[in-house]
Each structure stands twice: as C-alpha cells, then as structure tokens.
Structure 1
C-alpha cells in the first residue's frame, strides 16, 4: 500500500508539472505570436508627442496602436529627430515611422500605408509689420527660424540654392522645438518661422501670440512609413493596410474630424 501511495503521488505531481508547463507555454506563446513593431515618432503635437509621464501620446499614436492591434501586432515607440529616423529606416534598424508620405530622401527605401484623411500643413509664419511672404524665395536675406532635426523635404536648401543665383541667402536659425521657435519669432530675433500649423496651434493654446500670420507652403499626407530592410516588411505593409481600412471608420470618426479641422 505505501508503494501504491508513493506511485500515486509521483503520478499526480508529474502531471501537474506538465499542466503547469503547458499553461506557461500557452501564455508566452499567445504573447510572442503578436510580433513587436518598433516605431519611431517625432515631437509633433497633437499627433505624436511625449506626455508629462514620459509616454508616447497623441492622435496618431492612438490610431497606430489600434491599427497594429487589429492586425495582430503590438507596438514599441521611441521619439527622435526626423534626420535620425531617416537614417534608421535606411539602415533597417526600425520597422516604421509614424510620419509623412512621399518623403524624397526615403522613397527608395520604404513602403507606405497612407493614413487618409490625416494631413499636416507647412506654413511660413511672420508677425504684423513684417513683409508678407508666400514662399521661402520671398524671405531673401532675412532671418528664418526652423526646428532642429526637421528636414522640410530639403526645401530650405533648395531655396538657398535658388537665392544664391541673385546673390541672396537665407539666414537660418535652428531652435530646439516648436515653443522656442515661436518665442524667437515673437521676440523679433527672427523675421520668419517655417513650421507646421498643427504644433503651432497647440503652442498658441498655451501662450497666445497676437498679430501672428501664416502663409501656406504645402500640405503633406500622413503615412505609416515602413522600412524595406526589415524582415517581413511586405507582409507588415499588407497587414497594416488592410487593418487601417477595416478600423478607420469604426473606431476613429471623431479623431479623423479633429485631424481634418487642423488641416483646414
């Protein structure tokens, strides 16, 4: 009888061990089956930004998380300047960028999922009393403040190249962010500011700047910009495209309307 009892205890313990191990594998298997997508963003409120708790936030972040969750992935984020993000996409160091479509420097290296109707609006800003400017060529030899790390699709370099033919050159000041650029413009240390309308509007909610004007330079569509050099990039592109189309009108009508208001 004692031998039978010992055998019974060993039998129960061994099967309990198998059950525990199987449950553990099921939990870890369920987690690992959702591939991690490493995504970069830049500080661009209200679309993408780092909140006071140090966490990624914004309309675009929320939309991306819902899209990847629906597609069977999960996301990991980090913030970096655009120039650094471009390098990492070309090197295949990240899966994608929550960015803009049709960036010339990236076209040979990425595939894109357009995020319609989201768009952003680049403007040339100036104060009352400053000569209105509708393009960078109108700025001439005046001082222009830009955001450090933003490439603006190289339109500043192109304008300088065009201006050099007439002996003119933009005097470019680089600011650390949207708030500091606006402060430089408002204080008169720069004559013009090249910046996107969406973050400027966010800054103006906190610190209104009277007599501020802006001329439209261009509109740009947003997109999930996927590096071609990451394993499975074609499948990621397909999955996110299908997922975004499936969820955009179900989960995000209010977000889309908010985004369109910023673009008007």
Structure 2
C-alpha cells in the first residue's frame, strides 16, 4: 500500500480540484476523506501523514472503485460540520450519529466493530450504572462524542458528574492512574494500545456499547449515492476475490 494521500490546507475545503490524474493521465474524481484521531484505525503519524488500518482500507476501496482519495485529520466537531456542508465527502466512522442525522448516507459494508467502555482503577468497586457515577470525575477524550444514554449521564444535573478532558488515550490513562478522575470513558482498542505502550497493568472495565464502523458519505458530496454504491460494490468485489477486509 502506498502512503496515504493528504494535502496541507488551511481552508475549509480539502482542495479546489474535483479531479486528479493517474500516471497514465486518466482523470479520477477526488474524494475528500475526513477522519479524527482514533489509533490504530485512523490517526496522524509524527510527521502528520495519515495512517491506520481503516484509512488504508478506505484508500483500497476508493481506488478499486475508481476514485482518488485525499485524507485530512479534523476535530470531531469540524468533521461533522464538513459532512453536513459537503466539504467532507466521506468518513470511515460510526453510523447513527445524532449530529449527522439526515445529512449522510451509510454503507451496507461493515468495516469493523468497536467497544465503548468505562475503565476504573483496581481500588474502585464495580460500579452500578449510572448511580455510582454521581458526584464522581470521568475522564473524556477531547473531540469525541459519546452515545446515548452515556452522553445524557454526563450532562445530568442529578448525577453531577465532573468532566476531565484530555487530548490522548495515553494521557487519559495517566490521569486515571494519578487519581485525577475516577473513571475513564473511552474505546477499548486505543486504550489497550496506549496501556501497553505505558507498560501499565490491565485495568478493569465495563463494556457499555458495541458499535459498527461503516463508510459514511455526505449527502452533499458530488453524486453521493453513486459514490456509496461504488464503495459497497468495491467491498463486495474484493471480498468475493478472497480478501479479508474486516478490521481487527
């Protein structure tokens, strides 16, 4: 797999061109792919290059379908805004987001499954949910949005939860370890990867929600339904050829 395509732009749009040329001079429609930092699936390497298994799979599907992908990392709120206004054409992410209701189309193809979990220290008893969260501190990742009813718990005045936000899974674990929060609400795979990097012992957790990752296309993308159909077709063709496309 070649390095993922990206453009360093400060403008709202990824690029001013709607077509790219292959080495043979064949024009290919450009698809602006947005993502946020969700290692090991979608993330930026130290030099800013887009990386991750979900981005590599997205590139594979787009190229097989005859499109040229351009990738850009965005904070969650800007990613959702781009999908609503059409400046972001595609997001390999989670279906069913309230912020995107009525603004996007979702693929038939499922890229993988991810668990949202509540982590806690070994000195903390298994919590009864949500009552044992009352008056406690929960560590959250900045830029992430969470699913109902968990997002409702966070804002429930009766629970009076204190929110502590940080920018990375590694720092979130360090905060939990240093008692700068009582619980961590985060996704299992990136947390476990960060925990192993830190050399930290396993932590207890409760799985709250299992979500399926799909290809999310903005309804305002050029020929949105055609793009989605082409991606679903590419997935089915490659799968029929024996390729294992599901993310671990």
What is the TM-score normalised by the length of structure 2?
Answer: 0.84
Task: Report the Cα distance in structure 1 between the residues aligned to 2:41 and 2:106, rounded to whole angstroms.
Answer: 18
1:74 alignment partner in structure 2: 68
2:98 alignment partner in structure 1: 104
Higher mean C-alpha deviation, range 216-225 or range 128-137: 128-137
Q: How does 1:186-197 map to 2 (within 5 A)?
A: 186-197=177-188
Cα deviations by residue, 1:244-264 (Å, 9 ceiling, x for unpaired):
1111364642x63x61xxxxx
SS at structure 1 position matched to 2:34: strand
Cα RMSD over matched residues?
2.1
2:18 alignment partner in structure 1: none
Larger Cα-atom Rg: 1
SS at structure 2 position matched to 1:94: coil
SS at structure 2 position matched to 1:230: coil
2:231 alignment partner in structure 1: 240
CA contact 2:111–2:214 (8 Å) conserved in 1: no
CA contact 2:217–2:224 (8 Å) conserved in 1: yes
Higher mean C-alpha deviation, range 126-135 or range 32-41: 126-135
2:80 alignment partner in structure 1: 86
2:135 alignment partner in structure 1: 141
Cα deviations by residue, 1:184-230 (Å, 9 ceiling, x for unpaired):
11111110000000101111221132251110010110011100012
Task: Report the Cα distance in structure 2 between the residues aligned to 1:203 and 1:249, rounded to whole angstroms.
Answer: 35
Task: Report the Cα distance in structure 1 between the residues aligned to 2:218 and 2:235, rounded to whole angstroms.
Answer: 18
2:38 alignment partner in structure 1: 44
Cα deviations by residue, 1:125-166 (Å, 9 ceiling, x for unpaired):
0010112226444311100000011011354441145x43xx
Matched, 1:63 2:37: no
SS at structure 1 position matched to 2:126: coil
SS at structure 1 position matched to 2:204: strand
1:3 alignment partner in structure 2: none
Task: Report the Cα distance in structure 2 between the residues aligned to 1:110 and 1:43, rounded to whole angstroms.
Answer: 21
Task: Report the Cα distance in structure 2 between the residues aligned to 1:134 and 1:75, rounded to whole angstroms.
Answer: 45
State the aligned residue count.
Answer: 228
CA contact 1:143–1:171 (8 Å) conserved in 2: yes
Return the match for 2:201 from 206, 210, 232: 210
Structure 2: stretches of 5+ with no match in the other structure: 1-20
What is the TM-score normalised by the length of structure 1?
Answer: 0.79
CA contact 2:115–2:207 (8 Å) conserved in 1: yes
CA contact 1:185–1:191 (8 Å) conserved in 2: yes
Aligned-pair CA distance for 1:41: 0.9
Task: Report the Cα distance in structure 2 between the residues aligned to 1:209 and 1:86, rounded to whole angstroms.
Answer: 34
Task: Report the Cα distance in structure 2 between the residues aligned to 1:97 and 1:246, rounded to whole angstroms.
Answer: 21
